[in-house]
Amino acid sequence: MQIQQKLEYPLWKIPYFLIKSLLIFIKVIRTGILTLLIENKYFNRQTELILKILNFILGSKNKIRIGEKLSNILINLGPGYIKFGQALSTRPDILGKITCDELKKLQGNLKPFPNYIAKKIINDENEFFFQESLASFDENPIASASVAQVHTGILKDGKKIAIKILKPNIHKQLFKDFTFFYWAAKFLEFCVPNIKRLKLSKNVEVLSEVSLNELDLTLEASAADELAENFKDHPNYKVPKIYWEFTTKKMLVIEFIEGIRIDDLDSLNAYEHNVKKITEIGTEVFFLQVFRDGFFHGDMHPGNILIDKKGALVPIDFGIMGRLSNKDRQFLALLLTYLLNKNYKKVVELHDEANMLGKNISHDHLSQAIRAISTPILNKPIGEVSLAKLLGQILNLSKKFNIEVQPQFTLLQKTMLMAEGTTRQINPNINMWELSRPLIDKWITDTHDPFKVLEEWFHKNKMALLKIPEIINKIDEILLKKK
């Protein structure tokens, strides 16, 4: 069954959704979050005035407790909202460091479910696991996140493992959240027809499908396995080993990694890790995943990236992964290159060639609009440049210039925001996109090399080409018979 059919909701739920959305809106405003958004000047004057009135009536002026209040609300609302909070935790440029530090607790410090339930789930998945495979098991989880919690154990051969277990009833809870998000997107598209080109409901479908894959841990294991294969020759990016013999849909058994969170600067410095090198490795890995492989880690918050004792980056969660076709990768590479080079006419031509512009759109006017939103961002100090934010601003032009929004870039943009946020936290003086520029330029050159294109064509059609002699022989036989 397609994800769209799964997200459909009965008509009788609409009044409930309307009331729920209003209550959530009020709860979020009461945290005082509008104070931060207004201060950062993200809205036009009319919108800002409305937000100021709402904030005056309902908002809190206590900036210190905004993160704490918001975290509690998101936890109470459900796992889908927690994921939203995890993404926000990487954006101190929007919410400030104090608020983001509080939201980081959503990355792995949630209240765990009882130990007896954890042991029951493990036993139900593999009744011989405790007796035949484990030498010891730690009943206290080392992490508890939105959909699962993690325990450690030691196998009888002495190897330490991490055991990830899905939370009880998580499938039902997560689906409940995404169904509401889907309705909210549909509601906005109905009320504001011009917003349809943003494809909000389609974006919810994409994010729902990707997130719901987390609920089958064999798929997560498969994703880790593919990522490991892609980086088997990379000395500074290590994917933990998957123990397939113990892994099931509800239980993932993986090599335990001793490491430091990538944003724990005090510990990184104490162990004399080179933070600049870590940033460079992270940038290279991000580029390779997105452009070389078209298969990337889609949940790159700092809680999912460890630094081992050798300084290698170690991803530890593979539930959300994204894919891009070669065509999408070429579009993205050229777009980033043109933006970094401030070649705004080329940006417009690129959108036009991809059939993303409406009819009768003035290229000059669109180019001027892109320049207007790009210049303030690209002229910032090097550590503050955000291409992810710039892409978001370009998407905001879709209403005025009828730009067709591409849902396949939704997860990537979220990943870019997380990658930028993490990079900025650990090394504010480095722009990851400047580091990526030579890699992107080389990739564009290689993918447009006629010999490279010809080589790839031969590789894809190798089996058909091998049959050519056989086909020629059959044609000769037919011609001989006719004689």
Q: What is the 3-state secondary structure (H, E, C) of the chain?
A: CCHHHHHCCCHHHHHHHHHHHHHHHHHHHHCCHHHHHHHCCCCCHHHHHHHHHHHHHHCCCCHHHHHHHHHHHHHHHCHHHHHHHHHHCCCHHHHCHHHHHHHHHHHCECCCCCHHHHHHHHHHHCCCHHHHHEEEECCCCCEECCCEEEEEEEECCCCEEEEEEECCCHHHHHHHHHHHHHHHHHHHHHHCHHHHHHCHHHHHHHHHHHHHHHHCHHHHHHHHHHHHHHCCCCCCECCCCECCCCCCCCEEEEECCCCEECCCHHHHHHCCCCHHHHHHHHHHHHHHHHHHHCEEECCCCHHHEEECCCCCEEECCCCCEEECCHHHHHHHHHHHHHHHCCCHHHHHHHHHHCCCCCCCCCHHHHHHHHHHHHHHHHCCCHHHCCHHHHHHHHHHCHHHHCCCCCHHHHHHHHHHHHHHHHHHHHCCCCCHHHHHHHHHHHHHHHHCCHHHHHHHHHHHCHHHHHCHHHHHHHHHHHHHHHC
Average pLDDT for residues 209-218, to the nearest whole number?
81
Q: State the catalytic residue, choosing from 293, 299, 317, 476.
A: 299
Asked whether residue 131 carries a pLDDT value surpassing 70, the answer given is yes
Asked whether residue 482 carries a pLDDT value surpassing 80, the answer given is no
Q: How much is the mean pLDDT over the chain?
A: 82
Question: In the annotation, is 293 catalytic?
Answer: no
Asked whether residue 169 carries a pLDDT value surpassing 70, the answer given is yes
Asked whether residue 456 carries a pLDDT value surpassing 60, the answer given is no
Give the model's pLDDT for residue 455. 47
For 342-384, write each residue's pLDDT tens digit: 899 998 888 888 777 777 788 898 899 889 888 888 877 666 7
Give the model's pLDDT for residue 472. 65
For 97-110, write each residue's pLDDT tens digit: 788 888 877 876 78
For 56-65, write each residue's pLDDT tens digit: 888 776 767 8
